Structure 1
C-alpha cells in the first residue's frame, strides 16, 4: 500500500512540473509573438510633417493616413517596441518618369525617428543638398541616397553614423562633390561604400582614408575624377574587400605597379577607362579569386599574360578597346582552362585581334556572351560556335570573316537573343523551310550575303527589337508576312537592296522608331506613318502619289524622301511636325508654292519649327521665297535650287536665319539685288545664287565671309557641296567698289559684268 501511495505522489509531482513547464512555454511564446498594434504618436507626427514637405504627384504615399503609421507603405516598426526602425521610400526605377517619384523638401522632422536603422530615399528627384541633420540619426545601419538628383557638397556630418554598414550615394543622376572625405574614416563598421559619380577630383589622398575601413567588402568610386592611384599600400587594411569598382577615373599611369594588384582576395575588379597604359600585368595571375575582371577602354598593349591561367574562378572578362594586337587562337590558349566551364562573358571588341578562329573546339560550355566585333579576324566561322548551346549574344560584326554559315552553325543555339554579323563577307545559306530554334531580339546582317530570295526564316523571328539586313543582295518581292513579323520592331534597315513592293496601309500600327528603306524598288504611295516614328528614310525608290495630308508621326525628326516620283503640292501637315529637324524631299515632281503656314489658321505653334536641314531642290516648285522659313531660326542647310521660285530675296533672311551655313538658290528665277542683310550671316560658308536674274552690285561686306572661298558654277550635289564657297555666276551683278581683292577671291561670272 505504501508503495502505491508513493507512486501516486510521484505522478502528481510530475504532472505539476509538466503543467508549470507548459505554462512557462506558453507565456514565453505569447511574449515573443506579441505585436505592437500602433506606432508611437511622436513618431507618427514626425512622419506626417515629413510627408507634408514632399512632392508626391503620383500619390505614392496615399496609405499614409490613419493612426497606425506602422501600416503605412514604406514604414516598418519593431514588433517589440513599436518604434519606426525602417523607412523605405525608394522610387519605382531610377530611369522612370519623374512623375512617379518623390521630390520636394526632406524635413528635419525625421530626427524624431531616433531608432531608425534603415533609410532608403533612392531613385527619386529631390534636387537639393543632402541634409546635414541625417548625420544625427545615430542608429542608422543602412542609408541609400543614390540616383535622387542630390546636388552640392556631401555633408561631413554623415561621419557621425558610426553604426553605418551600408552607404550608397551613387550620383549618376545628380551633381554632388566632396573636397574632404576624412569623415569616412569614422565609419569603421562600413561594409558597402558607393560614391559613384561624386566629384572627388580635389582629393589626392583618398586611399589612406578608405584603408581605415577594415570591414569594407564593396567599394564603388567610379566616375569620381580621381587622379591618384598609389603604387602600393604599406599596410593594407582592406583584407575583406571583394568588389572594387573604379571605372572612368583619371589615373593616367602604367598598369603596374598599382595598389589593387595586392588585393588577391578580390572577386570583382573594374578599372576600365582609367588611363592605364603599358602591358597587361603579370600580377593578374595573383588574383586567383577573381570572378569578374574589367580592364576595358584603357591603353593596354600586347597579349594577355600566361599567368591568367591561374584564374580558375573567372566567369566574366572585359578587355574591349585595348590593343592586344595578337592572334585570336593564342588568346584562347591563354584563357584559364580550369575555368572553361565557368566562363560566361568574353567581351573583346576593338582589341586588334587577328587571325582565324581556332578550328579545334573551345569547350566554353557556359558561355552566354561572346563579343569579338570590330577586330581583324579572318577566315570562316568554325562549327564549334554552334556547340555553345547557352550562348545568348554573339557579336562578330566588322571583321574580315568569310565563308558560309549554315544550319549547323545555328540550329543548337536555341537561347540566342542577339546575332550581329554585319560588315563581313559571310554568306548565310539555309534551307527555305528552316525554322530556327532561337527567337532573336537583335539581328544585324548588314553586307552579308543572304541571296536573291527574301530569307524565309525571318518569318519566325517575332520578338525582334532591331533588324538590319541592308546591302545583303536581296532582289525579291517583300512578302506580306514581313510586315507582320516586323510590326513590333523598333529599328528596321533594309536599304541598298533591290527589294520590290509597296508600303502597307497598316504601317501606322507598327511600333517602329527608325526605319530605313532607301535604295530599293519600293513603289506606291506613302501611307500614314507609325505613331512613334522619329526617323524615316525612303529615298531612292519609286514612290508615287502626293505626300500624305496626315503623316501620323507627330514626333518625326528626320524625313528623307529624295529621288522618288512623289507629285502634288507640299501639304500644310508637313509643317505641323514640330520636332522635324531634317527634311529632304528633293528630286521629286512636287509642284505649286510652298505653303505659308504662318497665315494658315489651322496650323498652330509654327513659330518654333526645329528644321536645321531642308532640301527642296530638283522639283517644280514655284512662288516667292518661302515665308515659313522665318519660323526656322535653327536652319543651317537650305537648298532650293533647280525649281521655279521667283521674286526678290527678302531682307529677313539675314535677320531670321542667322545660323545658316549653306544657302543654295541656283537655277531659279529670283531677281533684284543681293540684300545687304544677307551679309550679316556670319556663319555662312557656302552661297550659290547662280543662274537667276539677280542684278545690281555685290555688297562690299561680302569680304566679311571669313569662312568662305569662292567656287565654280558646277552643279555638284549637296553631299559634296557643303564645304566652303560662293557661286553667283550667270547673273547681272556689278560691283563699283574702289577696293579690289584680286588674289583673295575669284568669282565665276559667265555672261556677267562684275567689277572688283
Structure 2
C-alpha cells in the first residue's frame, strides 16, 4: 500500500467514526425530545394517586417514559402530553360496573400545559362536582366527561377554554343533577363545533337558543332531555350557518310544531325533536330541509298524513315518526316518500302511528333498507313478497297488527342480513316452510309469539345459533321438545315458549344455559325441576306437570322471580331456597308440598333483611307455625298461606315487622288464639282473610288503623307484584271468584268461620273502601252498628250465623253498591228496611231467614205497628196542602166570630133583638123537652 492509499484509508476511517458519533448523538437527542417530560410525569403520577382503580386500568403507569403509558399520548415533535384518554372500555355495556375509575381528580392536571384532549367518560366519580381547574387547561380542544357521575353546577370557568372544539357532558340521566342556571359562558367558546349536554338540567334557562346562536362554528348540538321548556318561533339574526346536527329531543316544549326556530336551519342533515309534545299537523316546512339525512319526529302529538313535499328530500336515509297519529293509509304514506331517495332510505320506523290498510305492492323495493318497523298499527292483509327482496334488511317488525295469511320461504330466503324478526301478537300469520329449509340469516332476536308455527316443532330454528331473545309462546306447537332445541337455545338470554302443548323432560344440562329470563309456563313438561342456569333472574314453569321434589341446589343464586304454581311438585321445601337472597317474587302454590317452611332466619341484623315482596304458598299440605323467617322480609307486600295445615297463633311481630304488608291471606288453616292487636299496625293492609280457622276473642276496635281499607285505590303501582303470579281465588258475593292482577283493586275483610265473640265494633264503619265484608259463622252478639251504611263501596256483606240482635239499621239502605247481603240466622227483630239497593237483591227471603223477630217485606210476616209512610216528595207536598187548608179554615172561623161579636158590642138594638131571640128559642126547646119526657113517663108507668 502506498502513502496516498494509506492517507485515503485514514480519512475514510475518520469520516466513519465522525458519522457514527453524529448518528449516536442525533439518536440520543431524539430520545430526549420524544421521551417523557419529568414535570408532566410527576403530574400524571399525582393524578393516579387520587384515583381508585379496582380493575387496574392504569397498571401500565410505571417506568420512566410516561408517553408509553396506556391512555397517554405525547407530541412527536415536543414530547409534551397532548392527550389523556381514561374512558372505561366498552362504555355502554359496562355502564354501572364497579370496574371503572373513580376517586378524586387531582389539580396536578393543570401542569399538563399542552393537554389538548381529555376523556374521562364512562367512569364513576361518585357525584363529585366538575373541577373548576378544568377551566385552566387553556389548550384543551376536546373535553369528554359523559356518563361519569358528576353532579352539581357546571363551573362557568369552562368558558375560558377558548380553543375548545368538542365538549361532551352527557350525564347519566336528568336525575343526576348536573345543572346550570346560566350558560352565557358558552358564548365565549367561539371555536366550539360539537356540544353535547344531554341529560343536564337546564330547565330554568329561557335564553338557551340565543346563547347557542352565538357559536358560529357549531356543527353539532345535542341537548337531549335537558328539561328545556322554551323554544322560540324564530331568531332575528340566525348565526348557525354551519350546524348540521340538532338533537333537542325529550324536553318539555308543549307547543305547536310550527312555527319554530329550527325550521330556519335549512342546512341541517340530522334533526331529532322527538318526545317534546309538539302538536299539530306534520309541517310543510319539512319540504324545505333538502339537506336532511335523518329526521326524527317520534313521540309527539302530530296528526295527519306526512306532507307531499317530502318528495324534495333527496338525501333522506332515516325517517322516524313513531307514536304519532298519522291515521291514514300505509299505501299513501309510501307514495309520499321521496322517490329520489328511494334507494338511499336505510331506516323507516313508523310504529304506533294508526296506519291502516294493506301493505302496498311495489314494483321497486327499498333495496338499501336496513330497518323497517310498522308495528302496533291497524294493518290488514297479507305480507307482500317484496319484503323478501330486502337483502340488507337487519330489523323487521310487523308485530301487533291484523295481518294474516302465510309467510313461506319465498318471504324469507332473500333476507340475507336479517338479525331481528318480530311478527308477534294480534296477527294471524302462519310460518310454513319445508322441514329441510335452512334460513340464509342468523337471527339474534325472533319474536314470533301468537304466530302459528305448529303443530310440529319448527325445525328451521335448529340453525339459529346466535339467538339472544326467542319468543315462540302461544304458537300452537304440540310436540316433544327435541334435544337440539335446548342446545340451540343455550345461548339465549330471554326464552319464552309458554302457552303451547310442548312436552318432554326439562334438560339435565339446564344449569349451563345462559338465560336470565325463562317462561316455560302452560305446557305439558314432566319430570323434576333440574338445577337452574347460573345467571337466571326470572323463571316461570307454572301450569305444567312437573313432579318430584324441588332441587337441593337451585343454582341460580341471583334469582329474582320464581313461579312454579300449578304443578305436582312434592316433598319438602329445601333449605337451599334460603340461599336465594335476591328473591322478590315466589309463587309455589297449588302443588303437593308438605312439611314445615324452612327457617331462613340466620340472624336479625339489618344487613340480612330480604327483598321478598310476594310469597304465595296456598293449596299445598304445608304445616307448622307461622313462618318465622318472614321477620326479615320487611318489604313483603303479599302473603298467602291459604289451604294448608299451619297451626298456632298469629304472631304479634307481624304488625311490627311486616310494615309494607297489603295482602294477608291465611284462610282454611288451624290458626288459633286471639287476633293480635298489633296486626292493626299494618296501615297499608287492604286485604285480610283470616277465615276458616279457630280464632277466638273479639274483633279489635283498633281496626280503624287499617288505612288501606279507607282509601279507594286508583293507581296500579303494585301491579308489578302480580304480573307473574297465579290467579287468586276470592270468596265474595257467595261464590268463588278468580282475580289476576285485578286483585290490587280488591279491598277485603273476611273473618268468617272462626270463634269470634263480642260486638261488631262501631269503628268498622270507617273502612269505607271495603268491597267485601264477611263476619259470618262466628258467635258475635250485640247490634249491627248504626253506621254500617258508611261502607258505600261494599258489594258483598255477610253477617249470617251469629247472635246479632236488635233492629236492622235504616242506614243499610244507603249501600248503593251492594249486590249480595246475608243476615240470616241471627236474633234480629223489627221491621226490615226498604228502599234503594235493598229492593234489587236476589233471593230476598233467604237474606233474612232464621230471624223470627223480623217482619215486613220481603217476608210474609206483617208488622203490628203502622207502617211508616215513605218520606217522598209527593208525601211532603200532600202534608203541606192539608196544613194550608186547615190554617185557612181556622182563620175564617175566627174572623166570623169576631165580626158577630163586634156587631153585637156596638149595636144595642141588635144586641136586645139577639138575646130576645135566644130566650124564645130556649123557652120553646124547654117546653118541648118537658112534654116529651112526661109523655114517655106515662107510657112506661
- TM-score of Structure 1 vs Structure 2, range by shorter chain: over 0.9
| Pairing partner for 2:750 from 723, 727, 742 | 727
TM-score (structure 2 length as normaliser): 0.75
Partner of 1:4: none
Partner of 1:443: 446
Q: Deviations over 1:425-456 (max 9, x none)?
A: 11111111111111111111111111211111
Contact 2:699 2:761 in 1 (8 A): no
Shift of residue 76, structure 1, vs aligned partner = 2.2
Q: Deviations over 1:323-354 (max 9, x none)?
A: 11110000000000111100000011111111
Alpha-carbon spacing, 1:594–1:712, altered in 2? closer, same or farther (3 Å):
farther
Partner of 2:307: 305
Shift of residue 64, structure 1, vs aligned partner = 2.3
Once residues 799 and 590 of structure 2 are traced to their aligned partners in structure 1, the CA distance between those partners, rounded to angstroms, is 27
Once residues 705 and 175 of structure 1 are traced to their aligned partners in structure 2, the CA distance between those partners, rounded to angstroms, is 38
- Report which stretch shifted further, 354-363 or 496-505: 354-363
Partner of 2:12: none
Shift of residue 94, structure 1, vs aligned partner = 2.9
Partner of 1:427: 430
Partner of 1:208: 210
Structure 1 unaligned residues grouped into runs of 5+: 1-22
**Structure 1 counterpart SS, 2:759:** coil
Contact 1:690 1:713 in 2 (8 A): no
- After superposition, residues 456-535 of structure 1 pair within 5 angstroms as 456-535=459-538
Shift of residue 641, structure 1, vs aligned partner = 0.8
Alpha-carbon spacing, 1:712–1:674, altered in 2? closer, same or farther (3 Å):
farther
Partner of 2:818: none
Once residues 379 and 402 of structure 2 are traced to their aligned partners in structure 1, the CA distance between those partners, rounded to angstroms, is 6
- Report which stretch shifted further, 454-463 or 112-121: 112-121
Shift of residue 213, structure 1, vs aligned partner = 0.9
Contact 1:735 1:755 in 2 (8 A): no
| Pairing partner for 2:243 from 241, 244, 261 | 241
- Report which stretch shifted further, 91-100 or 323-332: 91-100
Once residues 389 and 144 of structure 2 are traced to their aligned partners in structure 1, the CA distance between those partners, rounded to angstroms, is 44
Alpha-carbon spacing, 1:69–1:703, altered in 2? closer, same or farther (3 Å):
closer
Contact 1:728 1:748 in 2 (8 A): no
**Structure 1 counterpart SS, 2:594:** strand
Higher-Rg member (1/2):
2
Structure 2 unaligned residues grouped into runs of 5+: 1-18, 711-730, 763-784, 807-941
Contact 2:682 2:705 in 1 (8 A): no
1:169 aligns with 2:192: no
| Pairing partner for 1:417 from 409, 416, 419 | 419
Shift of residue 648, structure 1, vs aligned partner = 1.5
Alpha-carbon spacing, 1:669–1:716, altered in 2? closer, same or farther (3 Å):
farther
Shift of residue 513, structure 1, vs aligned partner = 0.8
**Structure 2 counterpart SS, 1:544:** strand
Partner of 1:3: none
Q: Deviations over 1:606-640 (max 9, x none)?
A: 94222111111111111222222212111111111
1:279 aligns with 2:281: yes
Whose RCO is larger (CA < 8 A, sep 6+)? 1
Q: Deviations over 1:509-545 (max 9, x none)?
A: 1111111111111110001111011111111111110
Partner of 1:106: 105
Once residues 604 and 434 of structure 1 are traced to their aligned partners in structure 2, the CA distance between those partners, rounded to angstroms, is 60
Alpha-carbon spacing, 1:454–1:606, altered in 2? closer, same or farther (3 Å):
farther
Once residues 270 and 665 of structure 1 are traced to their aligned partners in structure 2, the CA distance between those partners, rounded to angstroms, is 55
Contact 1:734 1:754 in 2 (8 A): no
Partner of 1:389: 391
Once residues 660 and 668 of structure 2 are traced to their aligned partners in structure 1, the CA distance between those partners, rounded to angstroms, is 23
Contact 1:731 1:752 in 2 (8 A): no
Contact 1:502 1:524 in 2 (8 A): yes
Once residues 738 and 111 of structure 1 are traced to their aligned partners in structure 2, the CA distance between those partners, rounded to angstroms, is 75
**Structure 2 counterpart SS, 1:119:** strand
Partner of 1:9: none
Once residues 621 and 486 of structure 1 are traced to their aligned partners in structure 2, the CA distance between those partners, rounded to angstroms, is 36
Once residues 283 and 304 of structure 2 are traced to their aligned partners in structure 1, the CA distance between those partners, rounded to angstroms, is 10
- The root-mean-square deviation of aligned C-alpha atoms, in Å, is 2.2
Shift of residue 203, structure 1, vs aligned partner = 0.8
Contact 1:733 1:752 in 2 (8 A): no
Partner of 1:583: 586
1:687 aligns with 2:694: no
Partner of 1:65: 62
Alpha-carbon spacing, 1:190–1:605, altered in 2? closer, same or farther (3 Å):
closer
Shift of residue 278, structure 1, vs aligned partner = 0.5
Alpha-carbon spacing, 1:625–1:217, altered in 2? closer, same or farther (3 Å):
same
Once residues 721 and 372 of structure 1 are traced to their aligned partners in structure 2, the CA distance between those partners, rounded to angstroms, is 35
- Report which stretch shifted further, 119-128 or 389-398: 119-128
Contact 2:34 2:77 in 1 (8 A): no
- Report which stretch shifted further, 360-369 or 374-383: 360-369
Q: Deviations over 1:174-208 (max 9, x none)?
A: 53111111111111111111111111111100111
**Structure 2 counterpart SS, 1:300:** strand
Partner of 2:44: 47
Higher helix fraction (1 or 2): 2
- After superposition, residues 75-114 of structure 1 pair within 5 angstroms as 75-95=72-92, 96=94, 98-114=97-113
1:573 aligns with 2:576: yes
Contact 1:34 1:80 in 2 (8 A): no
Alpha-carbon spacing, 1:115–1:384, altered in 2? closer, same or farther (3 Å):
same
Q: Deviations over 1:383-426 (max 9, x none)?
A: 11111111111001100101111111101112110100001111
Once residues 582 and 363 of structure 2 are traced to their aligned partners in structure 1, the CA distance between those partners, rounded to angstroms, is 52
Partner of 1:744: 790
Alpha-carbon spacing, 1:551–1:622, altered in 2? closer, same or farther (3 Å):
same
- Number of residue pairs the alignment of both structures matches: 727
Partner of 2:155: 155
Partner of 1:16: none
Once residues 257 and 752 of structure 2 are traced to their aligned partners in structure 1, the CA distance between those partners, rounded to angstroms, is 61
